[in-house]
Structure 1
Amino acid sequence: MSIIIKFFIAPDDTSAASSVDSGPDGVFNSLDCGNFDASEAVLEWESLFTGQSFEALVASDEPRTVAEHEEGDGPLLFVVSEVLQGALTTASPARLAEVGELWIQERAVEGDAFDPEMVGELLRDLAGLARTAHGQGHGLYCWMA
């Protein structure tokens, strides 16, 4: 599980990858998150938004890794799929709340407990970041360390 998670926007994979060792702070507009497996979460969120199965998303190699620490045991950087970025960009507050509630229920089955207020704020802030990225023609990325 990650200790530090930062979603951020960048113009392209090459630009995003430049922050793999140090993180996106001070370089890119970013959102700091709590302690959860972000690579699994984006798949779960995309599944909840689209109805596509988690397994199908994994089979399609989502999320796509953009960069890793040289030794493979350090930070990881991946891009959020265009489908999820689009879903976040267009989601209404009610839809974000619905997906948040469903995600909390899914994670509870696995023994994880998430605060509904924290999840609601996370998805609202992430949707705002996705809208900013879309408006700039940029992608949405995640850095985990």
Structure 2
Amino acid sequence: MAQDAVFFLAPDDEAAAGTRLRGPGAEFESVTCRFIDADSAIAEWDLYFAEPSAGLPPIERLHGWAWPEWVTDPLNDGIEVFALPERLTRALAGASPAALEELAGRWTARLGAEDGDGMTDDDLPTVLRGVARLAASAVEAGGGLYCWSF
């Protein structure tokens, strides 16, 4: 089910977990994307850097990929807080503009195949560039990259 997602920079899992009820707000530098499944987006990005290709891998490959880990226990309220894998954070931080464009194209194709007209109306290349900037800050500052989703 598509949700709103806020990708944000936090010093550690404890600080990220503290956003659970209220979201990251202005306290943390962030990038917002509407109407996506945050966990599948994170898995898609991670798979791309592990196995680069402009084409979509089969959905079974994506579903078999390592999914992000929660930093808070999931409850029935629909709020999720994930930690992006460190390897993905580093990959995003070091990604070239061309790689981010290719990834955005692949992600757009996946969302279109799954959600059709219901996919996000956000500019996905802009979202990815923003998340990559956060990743670079996380690598430089020693913090982590997280996603709050509702």
TM-score, normalised to structure 2, is 0.83
**Structure 2: tracts of 5 or more residues without a match:** 53-60
The Cα of 1:116 is off from its aligned counterpart by 9.4
Structure 2 CA distance for aligned equivalents of residues 55 and 7 of structure 1: 21
Q: Which residue of 2 aligns with 1:122?
A: 127
Structure 2 CA distance for aligned equivalents of residues 63 and 11 of structure 1: 18
Structure 2 CA distance for aligned equivalents of residues 108 and 25 of structure 1: 29
Could you tell me which of 77, 81, 102 is aligned with 2:106? Answer: 102
Q: Is the 8 A contact 1:23 1:143 kept in 2?
A: yes
Alpha-carbon RMSD: 2.2
The Cα of 1:110 is off from its aligned counterpart by 2.3
**Structure 1: tracts of 5 or more residues without a match:** none
Is residue 2:32 matched to residue 1:27?
Answer: no
* Count of aligned residue pairs for this structure pair: 141
Percent identity among equivalent residues? 35
The Cα of 1:117 is off from its aligned counterpart by 7.7
Letter in 1 for 2:136: R
Q: Is the 8 A contact 1:68 1:74 kept in 2?
A: no
Structure 1 CA distance for aligned equivalents of residues 97 and 121 of structure 2: 14
Check 1:117–1:13 CA distance in 2 against 1; reply closer, same or farther (3 A cut).
closer
Q: Which residue of 2 aligns with 1:133?
A: 138
Letter in 2 for 1:36: I
Summarize deviations over 1:88-130 as a string: whole Å, max 9, x none: 0000001100111122223333243557981110111110111
Structure 1 CA distance for aligned equivalents of residues 95 and 147 of structure 2: 20
Q: Which residue of 1 aligns with 2:65?
A: 57
Structure 2 CA distance for aligned equivalents of residues 43 and 28 of structure 1: 23
TM-score, normalised to structure 1, is 0.86
Q: What secondary structure does 1:32 align onto?
A: strand
Q: What secondary structure does 1:47 align onto?
A: helix
Q: Which residue of 1 aligns with 2:41?
A: 41
Q: Which residue of 2 aligns with 1:89?
A: 93
Q: Is the 8 A contact 1:8 1:24 kept in 2?
A: yes
